[in-house]
Amino acid sequence: MRFGRRDPGFVIAATGLLLEARIAGRSANVRPVAGGGCATRLAGLIERAIADGGQAVASFGIAGALSQGLKPGARVIGNEVVNAGKVYRADATWTLWLERQLCPAATRRIAGLNHALSIPAEKRAFEAATGAAAVDMESHIVADLATRHGLPFAVIRVIADPVSRALPPAALAGMRPDGATDVGACLRSLVRNPGQVPALVSVVLDTARAMPQLLRCMQLLGPGLGFFDRG
């Protein structure tokens, strides 16, 4: 599948979902990689893209809120990423440029985890422990690899999951290794537990609110997700 233009200089956009990768790939000078929720797979894809000449890395996609004030559709720019007690600082110049272009957006600390937080009490406890406002499954991998390779990184996220909602098992089962939706796994989960249908509908609706905002972010930032214009 072809995403965007392949100029010699490009920004790597690290995502979990294939749909997020498709949105990022509409921006010229961006090479998207979708990890499908697997940290090892995503790290390998980023490493290969760096070897191909990637000049910067962006964590791009939807996220779960840890802060009560962040609602579905809210834009979040990560100025820091925290994982396992380690804090990584995003590129200051790029982050400032993102703030100007994506206003209104919250600039906050982002947490990275290899698994989803599905219970509201877990989310609130994790916010208290980390000081992060949102969580995703890619930003910590981006931050670590970019830092080790001496590359700038940025975090561009849109909230899809509010802190008050418990994620149903069907939502957690519904991603294939390539980041595409595993409809069969979702249906099997629903057959086993039909009572999760209302919660799954809420997840789908909030994701549908978040994705147009993610597309709008890409449009506002332009080629390279703003990296080459940051000054």
Residue 231 lies in a domain: no
The whole-number pLDDT of residue 83 equals 98
pLDDT for the residue numbered 181: 85
| CA gap 18, 30 in Å, rounded | 14
- Phi, psi (5° rounding) for residue 5? -100, 145
pLDDT over 60 (residue 5): no
Determine, yes or no, domain membership for 5.
no
Q: What percent of the chain has a predicted confidence (pLDDT) above 70?
A: 96
Specify whether the backbone of 3 is left (phi greater than 0), alpha (psi in -120 to 50) or beta. Answer: beta
pLDDT given for residue 178 in this prediction: 85
How confident is the model at residue 50, as a pLDDT? 97
Three-state secondary-structure class, residue 11 = strand
Q: How far is CA 205 from CA 125, 142, 146, 190, 224, in A?
A: 26, 28, 33, 17, 29
Give the containing element (helix H, strand E) for 86.
strand 86-89
Structural domains counted in the chain: 1
Residue 2: the pLDDT is 40
Once rounded to an integer, what is the mean pLDDT over residues 167-175?
87
Is residue 115 in some structural domain? yes
> Is residue 1 a part of any domain in this protein?
no
Residue 93 in any domain: the answer is yes
Q: What is the mean pLDDT of residues 113-124?
A: 96
pLDDT band at 6 (very low <50, low <70, confident <90, very high): very low
| Residue 85 lies inside a defined structural domain of this protein | yes
Residue identified by tokens 């996609």 is: 61
Residue 4 resides in a domain: no
Instruction: Give 8-34 pLDDT, tens digit per residue.
Output: 589 999 999 999 999 999 999 999 999
Q: What pLDDT sits at residue 230? A: 87
DSSP summary character for residue 67: S
Say whether pLDDT at 177 is over 90: no
What pLDDT was estimated at residue 72? 97
**Averaged pLDDT, 162-170:** 95
CATH of the domain at 202: 3.40.50.1580
Task: Read off the pLDDT of residues 28-79 as tens digits, 9 standing for 90 and up.
Answer: 999 999 999 999 999 999 999 999 999 999 999 999 999 999 999 999 999 9
Residue 3 has pLDDT above 80, yes or no: no
> What is the percent of the chain where pLDDT is above 90?
90
Report if residue 3 sits inside a domain.
Answer: no
Q: Which residue range forms the structural domain that includes residue 193?
A: 10-226
